[in-house]
A = this chain, B = another copy of it.
Amino acid sequence: MKAVVKTKRTKGMEFIKVPAPRIGPRDVLIKVMLASICGTDVHIHDWTRWAQYRFKPPRIIGHEFVGKVEKIGDEVTQVNVGDRVSAESHISCGDCYQCRNGYSEICKDLRLLGVDHDGACADYLTLPEHVLWKNDPDIPDKWATIQEPFGNAIDTVMAEDVSAKTVLILGAGTIGLFATGIARASGASLIIVSDPNNYRLNISKKMGAHITLNPKKQDITPIILEATNNNGVDVVLEFSGNNQALNQGLKTITPGGRISILGIYEKQVSIDLNKEVIFKKIRIYGITGRKVFSTWYKTSRFLSSGLVDPSPIITHQFPLKDYEKGIKLMKDGKCGKVILKV
């Protein structure tokens, strides 16, 4: 079969022929229909510091997808041949302290699809049945493939409820954009989105942002304070991975508010913990992965009910072999989510 493979410990990837995967008794073979590209894939492609530390070539990349079940192992009971599935990308062990306490998303022996296990940018992939999700028939393929990052956005937004609350979203990458739609659908009464990329700010408006701010061009603090009767926002959602943005969030959050942080930072962050967290009694939630599978149910409902329409975020589609086009667009910041047709 053909697949996008990270073959070497250097920049770049290859679209090459590889053997089709084989399945064990609890595994499922899936024929991929669509896969989508994540920022992680760009890191792997560009062989950044994180990738050098974490990724071991050769490996097929890709962890967001929709596909059809082609074959099931002897002991598989929960899916059938022909089922249209996506998958939780965090393959957990089921046996560690975290797994046994209901936190499989932070399993101690976590294996990531497309990083530790051959990924979805290929004609076929194989996965243990316990990570599979049967897709709601009302969700089109193009939306089904983006459920994995959509779930990240849900867990960031809904760490606490946002109904009738004021929300600042820092970073309008695809997850920040999903979050904008989710916050709007969940009753946030004011949504402010800040990002230096105007292309993405425009998409955020379509997703429901009431105010969009470009921190490169404006001092965002007084605008946020004015929009909130000088109280600051109730909720900050940090997707940028930028220390300065994080500090702006902490500065403009109202005392007693909460911040959820999903963004990944280049290095240690520096925070005025006294003034911005302790004396303001802020709650901070570190967010990673998704609750398996309660978040998937929510994702499915947001998308199948029409509560969130992610169409403005899905900006491009290419054949799998043209994955480099997608990676380039992402690096240029000239796209939302890029989908690859297998």
In the bound complex, residues from chain B placing their C-beta under 8 Å from that of A158 are 161, 163
Bound Cα distance A274, B62 (Å): 22
| A187 touches B (CB below 8 Å) | yes
Q: Which residue on B lies nearest to A277, using beta carbons?
A: B286
Q: CB within 8 Å of B: which of A24-81? A: 25-26, 75, 77-78
Q: Which residue on B lies nearest to A133, using beta carbons?
A: B100
Contact of A187 among B26, B77, B185, B279 (CB under 8 A): B185
Q: CB within 8 Å of B: which of A254-280? A: 254-256, 261-265, 268-274, 277-280
Cβ of A307 and Cβ of B264 under 8 Å apart?
no
| A321 touches B (CB below 8 Å) | no
| A205 touches B (CB below 8 Å) | no
| A206 touches B (CB below 8 Å) | no
Write out, one digit per residue, whether chain A residues 144-163 have a CB within 8 A of any chain B CB (1) or not (0). Answer: 00000000001000100111
Point out which of A97, A158, A162, A187 has the most chain B C-beta atoms below 10 A from its C-beta.
A187
Chain A count of residues within 8 A CB distance of the other chain: 72
Bound Cα distance A274, B130 (Å): 28
Q: Is the interface of A mostly helix, strand, loop or mixed?
A: loop
In the bound complex, residues from chain B placing their C-beta under 8 Å from that of A98 are 254-256
Bound Cα distance A256, B278 (Å): 21
* CB of A208 to closest CB in B, whole Å: 11
Q: Which residue on B lies nearest to A210, using beta carbons?
A: B305
* CB of A157 to closest CB in B, whole Å: 8
In the bound complex, residues from chain B placing their C-beta under 8 Å from that of A268 are 270-273
**Which residues of chain A have a CB within 8 Å of any CB of chain B?**
25-26, 75, 77-78, 94-95, 97-98, 100-103, 105-106, 108, 130, 154, 158, 161-165, 182, 185-187, 189-190, 229, 231, 254-256, 261-265, 268-274, 277-289, 291, 293-294, 296-299, 301-302, 304-305, 307
Interchain residue pairs A-B with the least CB separation, the first 6: A164-B298, A161-B161, A186-B187, A189-B301, A277-B286, A284-B284
